Amino acid sequence: MKLWNLYPKADASGYWGYDCYHGAVIRAKTEEEARKMMPTGDEADYHWEDSGQVIDYNPWLDANVTVCEPLTVTGEAEIIITDFHAG
């Protein structure tokens, strides 16, 4: 098992707004498994309507708009995950 850090790419801001996940750390064997485990929130796969056609799209499965990298003990010091509650 590995720990995987999932987060949006900086240039993919159009997929995220309020009341949705903006990243997670997940324990899984593979990147594919980690991406599939990522919850999508109330949107249940992010639905869009385009020219009257409903499009189901989960950006966590798309490596073009999200990053899924294994966490290692090497590298620069950085915050990986925080838990902030507003209100």
Q: Report pLDDT digits (tens) over 30-61.
A: 999 999 998 765 554 455 566 767 666 788 89
Residue 49: strand, helix, or coil: strand
Structure tokens at 32: 């594919």
**How confident is the model over 9-29, as pLDDT tens digits?**
887 666 666 667 788 899 999
pLDDT number for residue 44: 47
pLDDT number for residue 28: 96
CA distances from 70 to 12, 21, 23, 45 (A): 20, 19, 14, 23
pLDDT number for residue 22: 80
